Amino acid sequence: MAVTEPKKIIIDTDPGIDDAMAIFVALQSPEVEVIGLTTIYGNVYTTLATRNALHLLEVAGRTDIPVAEGSHVTITKGTKLRIADFVHGADGLGNQNFPPPKGKPIEQSAAAFLVEQANLYPGKITVVALGPLTNIALATQLEPAFAKNIGQIVLLGGAFAVNGNVNPAAEANIFGDPDAADMVFTSGADILGVGINVTHQVVLTDADREKLARSNGKFAQYLCKILDVYFSYHRDAYSTKGVYLHDPTALLAAVNPSLITYTEGVVRVQTNGITRGLTILYNKQKRFGEVTEWSDKPTVKVAVTVDAPAVVNLVMERLMDS
Ligand SMILES: O=c1[nH]cnc2c1ncn2[C@@H]1O[C@H](CO)[C@@H](O)[C@H]1O
């Protein structure tokens, strides 16, 4: 029997409670091999994202996985960042005051690590991007062949034909660095965008959390501790009975593409004005008579539907079986 090699993935992350969940699910997924974490601002500042990434790997007993620290500023060197500590707690991990990690990030920057790995394993690496897209955009600037060399980029970002979660126009990861997002979407890489139009269908309920709490799984137990802040944010902000599994859904779309369906088209990102961060997919159903900002740009995949019960089940199973 032919044994299929696990898919090599690099998770670009801003941990973050749902990031922690996605990282743990990835470590429990035999279909993939996590070859590195790269860090970015978003849910927390980049320095704290690095600290949390190292901490999560220590919790998992996987300090063999390198962490490369990413950018502290946007692709246009912007320093006024929007940090979602009100979603994840001031420490990004549910205000638990975890001790500082013992480990350190590698010397290489996130962008340099991404470029190096894509060159080492051309066409073989999947980047799962769970935060603003600055590091990926930097990688395309550092190495013009990056878009060609990287296997796939599965990114959590955008709100396709629905309201955003920062404001009615914009989703948080795209809003974090719209210029970088537009560069990545038009880079020519094989991209699958998973937006909140899809992830808002994937809800972990109170009953699911109680089931996690009753299990002996190491990751399930850890997550139950940090999930409180995430649940109370959702109770205040939405009328959903539970929390959205944004990052785990994007991760599982990379692990098992049959969990989602997608459409194809050209995505551009609004980079200024009141709709800064808006993602617009041109679905190619109309042949426009004139040249538009979408003309002659590379096509990407955008997720349309998700098997939400299957995603929730997989997340639960893998966290409980740890
Ligand atoms: O309401 C929100 N504002 C800002 N960020 C959010 C909100 N809800 C979730 N996230 C975070 O942003 C990504 C999804 O857009 C997820 O990583 C999630 O943790």
pLDDT at 1: 53
Q: What does the DSSP assignment read for 224-264?
A: HHHHHHHHHHHHHH-S-SSEE-HHHHHHHHHH-GGGEEEEE
With a 6 A CB cut-off, is 16 part of the ligand 1 pocket?
Answer: yes
For residue 169, how far is its CA from the centre of ligand 1 (angstroms)? 14
Determine the atom of ligand 1 nearest the C-alpha atom of 244: 9
**C-alpha count within 13 angstroms, C-beta hemisphere, residue 286:** 8
Is 129 within 8 Å of 154 (Cβ atoms)? yes
CA–CA separation, 231 and 129 (whole Å):
23
Q: Stretch 87-93: mean pLDDT, rounded?
A: 97
User: Is residue 14 among the annotated active site residues?
Assistant: yes
Q: Find all residues with CB under 8 Å of 297, minimum gap 6, and list them.
A: 186, 266, 268
CA–CA separation, 119 and 117 (whole Å):
5
Q: What is the CA angle 230-94-245, rounded to 5?
A: 35
Query: ipTM of this model?
Result: 0.94
pLDDT at 35: 98
Q: Stretch 40-50: mean pLDDT, rounded?
A: 98
Q: Stretch 273-285: mean pLDDT, rounded?
A: 97
Span between the terminal Cα atoms of the chain, in Å: 27
CA–CA separation, 118 and 111 (whole Å):
11
Closest CA to 266 of 316, 300, 312, 311: 300
User: Is residue 55 among the annotated active site residues?
Assistant: no
pLDDT at 239: 86
Q: Stretch 234-256: mean pLDDT, rounded?
A: 95
Q: Go through 73-102 and write b for each residue having 16 or more CB atoms within 10 A of its CB, e for each that does not.
A: ebbeeeeebebbeebbbebbbbeeebeebe
Per the residue annotation, which of 19, 200, 246, 247 is the catalytic one? 246
CA dihedral of 43, 195, 252, 248, whole degrees rounded to 10: 30
Q: Stretch 64-83: mean pLDDT, rounded?
A: 97
Amino acid at 113: F
Residue whose CA is at the smallest distance from ligand 1 atom 19 = 18
pLDDT at 2: 58
For residue 165, how far is its CA from the centre of ligand 1 (angstroms)? 7
DSSP state of 275: T
